[in-house]
């Protein structure tokens, strides 16, 4: 089983080297179906761009974390290319809407609240006299 990575950072599985497209041939994870080696912490990675005279390809080992970081890197690059540009930040005074809100708050005083009966002067005086 051969696993290759596209430019978006997605993985695809093929069964034959000829089925791996040119964009993913430089780094292909190879798994042998009858062995567990190359499936845990260390992977076998083949370069399918250069075929040897005997019909084989160069294979090397790669730590799982390195393979996963390649996926993450390609995904981040793809997101950076395809993400919409960030919204323009408002100027030093903020947006027009926030300036209107601030202006309306500054011109209108908050309504005065009457203290509860227990805090009024007359109640206090009555309590004090007793």
Residue 58 within a domain:
yes
Q: How many distinct structural domains can be found in the chain?
A: 1
* pLDDT tens-digit series, residues 22-40: 888 889 988 877 766 666 7
Q: Please, what is the average pLDDT of the chain? A: 78
Range of the domain at 44: 2-82
- Assess whether pLDDT exceeds 80 at residue 48: yes
**102 domain residue, yes or no:** no
State the SS3 of the chain.
CEEEECCCCCEEEECCHHHCCHHHCCCEEECCCCCCCCECCEEEEEEEEEECCCCCEEEEEEEHHHHHHHHHHHHHHHHHHHCCCCCCCCCCCCCHHHHHHHHHHHHCCCCCCCCCHHHCHHHHHHHHHC
Average pLDDT of span 100-108: 62
């Amino acid at each position: 089983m051969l696993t290759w990575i596209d430019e978006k950072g997605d993985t695809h599985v093929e069964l034959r080297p000829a089925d791996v497209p040119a964009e993913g041939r430089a780094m292909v994870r190879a798994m042998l179906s009858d062995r567990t080696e190359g499936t845990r912490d260390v992977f076998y990675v083949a370069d399918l761009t250069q075929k040897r005279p005997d019909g084989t390809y160069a294979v090397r080992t790669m730590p799982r974390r390195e393979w996963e970081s390649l996926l993450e890197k390609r995904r981040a690059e793809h997101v950076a290319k395809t993400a919409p540009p960030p919204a323009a930040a408002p100027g030093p005074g903020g947006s027009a809407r926030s300036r209107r809100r601030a202006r309306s708050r500054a011109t209108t005083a908050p309504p005065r609240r009457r203290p509860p009966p227990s805090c009024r002067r007359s109640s206090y005086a009555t309590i004090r006299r007793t």
